[in-house]
Amino acid sequence: MAERLRRPFLIIAAGGTGGHMFPAQALAEQMLRRGWRVKLSTDARGARYTGGFPKDVEIEQVSSATFARGGLVARAVVPFRIAAGVVSMAARMRRDRPDVVVGFGGYPSIPALGAALLLGIPRMIHEQNGVLGKVNRQFARRVNAVACGTWPTDLPEGVEGIHIGNPVRQAVRERAGAGYIVPGDYPMSILVIGGSQGARILSDVVPPAIAALPMRLLQHLRVSHQARDEDQSRVTSFYDENGIRADVQPFFGDVPERMAEAQLVISRSGASSVADISVIGRPAILIPYAAATADHQTANARGLVEAGAAIRIPESKLTVDSLAEAIAAVLGDPSGALHMANAALSVARPEAAEELAALVERLAEQAAG
């Protein structure tokens, strides 16, 4: 009787950036609806993003070990810390065995995926970007399925990917295809989001670019600008000194709402941001993060740019003048802006979370025989 009543159990493992955590949250929401029990395994950085996860998701914080930081001694002990994390996770999985483990990338996903590999538990990775991250590349040949958010994805030879799309959170899906109010002689909104990495250049260039706009546009504008803690004060002061109505915060908990209200989004081209922009359907100016591994943010932007939904400005060509010109081109052309919004919707995959959840269930069913 107890076995018949047992709920299927999923462990989601994700690293500490919004790019990993937001699609992980979307999958968690879907699996709970399907009657699954869900646990999230993440690190201290990832824990900052768990406020939006459903309360029924169990949160397990693991120690993250990375080769990217620290001196030689610190790096030398990383393999031992990783091995200890895998062994510890395997012991927990023996006591409370998951039906499937899904990794979304980042070093904190190693213990869960490594333990699943040791124990023969069905496992899958989801890669958000057009280029596999370091951890996902290491596991690509050692999992039962590789789900891809951006297509095409650069995969190791012999590895086949499944184009799922990037799952978006319920708050985004609730605003899918939200009616777009074209730019005009009335209040307009610009949303500026930079992601957890590389947002400083946006704080340096975006405010003066907006201030350089013609008064016929500027007088109607309000700005929501996501800036790093250390940049918040100076960005706020600049907007104030130039008479621009702006809300500057390190983190917006209501990005989907602000995006749905915006006439234009200025953003890095992180995979989750690109997915949100396409599902809600908004014109965008995308500035790929130049230091991203294998320039994957340029690959992420490709779909929106080729569809005519976004203007891409490489970081090397980002200046106050080039950005001001791009902003004016969108806000000064109502019909063109509407075309961009509709083009964004044309490449959206709002059902990605359901498709990923269905893939999880197929893996569990295949393992059960």
Q: How many domains does the chain have?
A: 2
> Domain check: are 11 and 31 in the same one?
yes
In this structure, the number of other CB atoms found within 10 A of the CB of residue 253 comes to 11
User: What does the pLDDT profile of the chain (369 residues) look like in tens digits?
Assistant: 444 578 999 999 998 788 899 999 999 999 999 999 999 999 988 888 898 999 999 999 987 665 455 555 556 567 878 888 899 999 999 999 999 999 999 999 999 999 999 999 999 999 999 999 999 999 999 999 999 999 889 999 999 999 999 999 999 999 999 999 999 999 999 999 986 555 789 999 999 999 999 999 999 999 999 999 999 999 999 999 999 999 999 989 899 999 999 999 999 999 999 999 999 999 999 999 988 888 899 999 999 999 999 999 999 999 999 999 999 999 999 999 999 999 999 999 999 999 999 999 999 999 987
The whole-angstrom separation of Cα 7 and Cα 10 is: 10
Rg (C-alpha) for the chain, rounded Å, is 21
> Domain check: are 361 and 303 in the same one?
no
> Domain check: are 10 and 153 in the same one?
yes
Give the CATH number, domain containing residue 305: 3.40.50.2000
Q: Quickly tell me which residue has 């209501």 as its tokens.
A: 254
> Domain check: are 191 and 330 in the same one?
yes
> Domain check: are 230 and 362 in the same one?
no
The whole-angstrom separation of Cα 367 and Cα 197 is: 39
> Domain check: are 120 and 236 in the same one?
no
> Domain check: are 140 and 53 in the same one?
yes
Residue 322 C-alpha from the chain's centroid: 26
152: DSSP letter: S
Q: State both tokens at 78.
A: 């990383």
CA distances from 221 to 188, 224, 349 (A): 5, 10, 30
Do β-strands 264-267 and 284-286 pair in parallel, antiparallel, or remain unpaired?
A: parallel
> Domain check: are 148 and 214 in the same one?
no
> Domain check: are 263 and 136 in the same one?
no
> Domain check: are 141 and 41 in the same one?
yes
Range of the domain at 250: 173-346
> Domain check: are 271 and 358 in the same one?
no
Shortest CA distance to 224 belongs to which of 245, 205, 242?
245
The answer to whether residues 21 and 44 touch, using CB atoms and an 8 Å cutoff, is: no
Q: Compute the Cα dihedral for 292, 281, 165, 354 and give only its sign.
A: positive
> Domain check: are 329 and 205 in the same one?
yes
